Every structure is written in structure tokens, then in C-alpha cells.
Structure 1
Amino acid sequence: MAINLQKGQRISLEKANGSKLQNICVGINWGAIEKKGFLGFGKSVEAVDLDASCAMYSESKQLTDVVYFGNLGSKDGAVKHSGDDLTGDMGGDDGLDNEVITLDFSRLNPAISYVAFVLNSFRGQDFGTIPFASIRIYEGTSKRVNEVFAKYDIAHGSNFAGHVSMVMGVFYKKNGEWKFNAIGEPTRDKKLEETVNTVTQNYL
């Protein structure tokens, strides 16, 4: 059964049978912007480039690695990015994730205590102007969904309008156990580097 988290909720990653979750995915699905033509005649489609990224930190909150469209894998091989999607769904919602980041806890460098996921609109297109944009954080693989932990609808959430970046959530290690904080907060940042700095200052 899916655990649909509300913003700010925290959960343990231990399953009912006592086993620990190993493979986590963060998937983002979004659409291109439809624009009406001159005097309402015809329409055009404007590509939307959203970028999912993952930042890893040590226990002392030192940034150790960032996986994003320019660096598709972490140094330890635990985090992998599916690659940069520059357009979104141009022909309506196909129901598939445009970008997926996978995290394998069994391969994660033991010195890492925080794994944060963020989203940025590369061309500065406001989340509120995108026809649909949903995020899901789930157990499984890039091809299979076992259990969804958190879902966010950023195209229709009023607090996302006017923003081009957000913090999706943070996995953190406490007493040797991994837990998840569903943050779902827009930030005032414009670029990935600024968003990572916001995570460091406010969300670890």
C-alpha cells in the first residue's frame, strides 16, 4: 500500500517485515506549455526543461557530491540520473516520468548521512505556467514502481506559482537508520547551485 506523504511528514524506511528499503527512485513527469496563436488562432507548444538533481552530504553537512544533468552518476555508483529531458511531454501527458534519479542505499558511501533531491526550471519557466508537473518518490526501479512514498503536483499547487526551484525531499541517516523527510517546498533560487546552498542552510 502506498504511503502518500503530506508535506513535512517523516517516515522510516523499514518495511513491515523488518527489511530495509534498498532502491529508491525520484521520478518527474511534466508537460510542455501550450500557447494560443495571434487573436486566438492556432496554437504553439513551448518546450519546458525541468532538471532533477541530487546532493549528498556528510554527517557534518559538508557537500560531497551532486548528481545532475551534467554529472549522471555519483562517485560511489549509488546514485544514477536517467539523463536530461529538454522538452517535457510535447503531445500531452504520456504518464511516464521524463527524468528519474535512482538511489541504491547498499552502494552508498557510508560517510554520507544526507541525500537531498531538488528540482529546477532550467529556462526559468515558472512552475505555475506548466500544464502538468508531478513528482513521485517511490521504492522500485526506473521501470517498476513498488510503493510510492510521496507525490507532489507542482503545476496546480498554488504555493509553487511564481517559483522556478524546489526542494523535493531529503533522506537522512539517524542512529544508523535511513529516514525520509517529504519537504515539497518551493525556494526563491534561480539556479541549482543556489538551491543546493538553500538545502545546506535550511533542510538538513
Structure 2
Amino acid sequence: MGINLQKGQRINLQKGNGTVLQNVCVGVNWGAIEKKNWLGGIDKEAVDLDASCILFDEAKNNVDVVYFGSLRSKDGAISHSGDDLTGDMDGDDGLDNEIITVDFSKLNSQVTHVAFVLNSYRGHDFGTIPFASIRIYEGTPSRVNEVFATYNIAKGEGFSGHVSMVLGVFYKRNGEWKFNAIGEPTKDRKLEETIKTVQQKFL
């Protein structure tokens, strides 16, 4: 591992010592929008980004969704830290605002694809957010072992003008899990639309 993936790259989850990576986290960190007011001061506008995880079977059927309204998968393999409605209000604290954790050893055997997406709930353009980054890493919410994909969507080229994106997809081939770093913004406005985009374009 130990590599920072670019968009479109694929890796398997086998580590250098021969063991297979089991616990993966997707963390999203972002800040509230700062606007000057008529008095010359700064007003803060809360930003609600939503990280979600969709599980698909071999026929590309959506079998489960983990998001702010359902924080745990039916098989108990995936959990969500909870909905952050504001982002960092006092500058970047360096901590993830939302984290989704996956334990591949507990996943329902029917699941062949695990997709991660991000939606701006109130429709804030990614390009207007002062900082917003995503990292996909091995470890737990309190311990980062190795980061293997990062995206800077506030400063990243192509994200301005969009309010949703597909982060990446874990997929099972010949019994082994691999990862496709997608990092593509989409035209979708709602999670339901982003799920259909994943089904049609990225599985």
C-alpha cells in the first residue's frame, strides 16, 4: 500500500506482508463558507456534506445504503459516524467531520461492490467551500494506518459547479477485494440520483 491513488487507478487490498486489508475508513473534512457582511465582518454559512455508502450485488442491485438516515448496514459490516450539519465553523481542525467504516470480513457474501459517494445536502457548490477533502485509509476512526486515496474537492479541478461526486468503488474479483479510485463529480442533486449514476456508469 502506501500509495496515493489518482483518479481511475485500481489496486488490490493485499498488503506487502501478504495479509489482506480488512478495515477501511472513508473520512470527509470540510469547512463552513465565509462571507463578508455589510459591516465588514465575516459571517459563517453552515455547509452540510453527506458521505454515503451503497452496497450492490453481482446483478448491480442496490441491496443496502448507509447514510445519515441509516447509520449501520444490515450485516453490521459498515457504520457511519453520524450527520455533520455545519462543517468546521472555526477553520480547519484537521479532523474528519464524517467517517464511514467498513469491515470486509463481516460483509454479506452477496455484496460484490461497495461504493462511496458524497452529496451536498443544501446544494452548496463544491467550488464555494473553503476547504473540503476526502481520504480513504486503512485503520479506524481514531487510528490512521495508511492513506491510499485522497481528494481535494474544494481546490480540485473539475469539482466547481457540482454538488455531488462518486469517490470510489471497492469490488470483489475472484474472492479478492480491489479498489477503483473514481473521484468523478456528477450532475446529481440527490443521493437517489447518485446511486443510479453509480449503477449505470461505475459498476
- TM-score range normalised by the length of the shorter chain: over 0.9
Q: Taking structure 2 as the reference length, what is the TM-score of the superposition?
A: 0.99
Cα distance, 1:17 vs. partner? 1.0
**CA RMSD for the aligned pairs?**
0.8
Give, in whole Å, the separation in 1 of the partners of 2:130 and 2:2. 25
One-letter identity of the residue aligned with 1:145: V
Aligned to 2:160: 161
**Secondary structure class of the residue paired with 1:163:** coil
1:46-85 alignment to 2 at 5 Å? 46-85=45-84
One-letter identity of the residue aligned with 2:93: D
**Secondary structure class of the residue paired with 1:195:** helix
Aligned to 2:137: 138
Give, in whole Å, the separation in 1 of the partners of 2:50 and 2:27. 11
Are 1:31 and 1:92, in contact at CA under 8 Å, matched by a contact in 2? yes
Aligned to 1:183: 182
Give, in whole Å, the separation in 2 of the partners of 1:28 and 1:76. 23
Give, in whole Å, the separation in 1 of the partners of 2:153 and 2:42. 24
Give, in whole Å, the separation in 2 of the partners of 1:9 and 1:50. 25
Give, in whole Å, the separation in 2 of the partners of 1:18 and 1:61. 30
One-letter identity of the residue aligned with 2:11: I
One-letter identity of the residue aligned with 1:174: R
Aligned to 2:6: 6
Matched-pair identity in %: 73
One-letter identity of the residue aligned with 1:155: A
Give, in whole Å, the separation in 2 of the partners of 1:30 and 1:43. 18
Cα distance, 1:158 vs. partner? 2.3
**Secondary structure class of the residue paired with 2:3:** coil
Aligned to 1:20: 20
| Number of positions where the alignment pairs a residue of Structure 1 with one of Structure 2 | 203
Gaps of 5+ in 2: none
Deviations 1:76-110 (A, max 9, x none): 00000000000000000000000000000010001
Aligned to 1:200: 199
Gaps of 5+ in 1: none
Give, in whole Å, the separation in 2 of the partners of 1:84 and 1:45. 19
Runs of 4+ in 1 over 6 A off after TM superposition: none
Cα distance, 1:182 vs. partner? 0.3
Give, in whole Å, the separation in 2 of the partners of 1:16 and 1:127. 36
Cα distance, 1:74 vs. partner? 0.2
Aligned to 2:121: 122
Give, in whole Å, the separation in 1 of the partners of 2:78 and 2:89. 28
One-letter identity of the residue aligned with 2:20: K
One-letter identity of the residue aligned with 1:78: A
Give, in whole Å, the separation in 2 of the partners of 1:170 and 1:150. 12
One-letter identity of the residue aligned with 2:96: D
Give, in whole Å, the separation in 2 of the partners of 1:21 and 1:60. 25
**Secondary structure class of the residue paired with 1:159:** coil
Give, in whole Å, the separation in 2 of the partners of 1:125 and 1:145. 29
One-letter identity of the residue aligned with 1:3: I
Are 1:128 and 1:158, in contact at CA under 8 Å, matched by a contact in 2? no
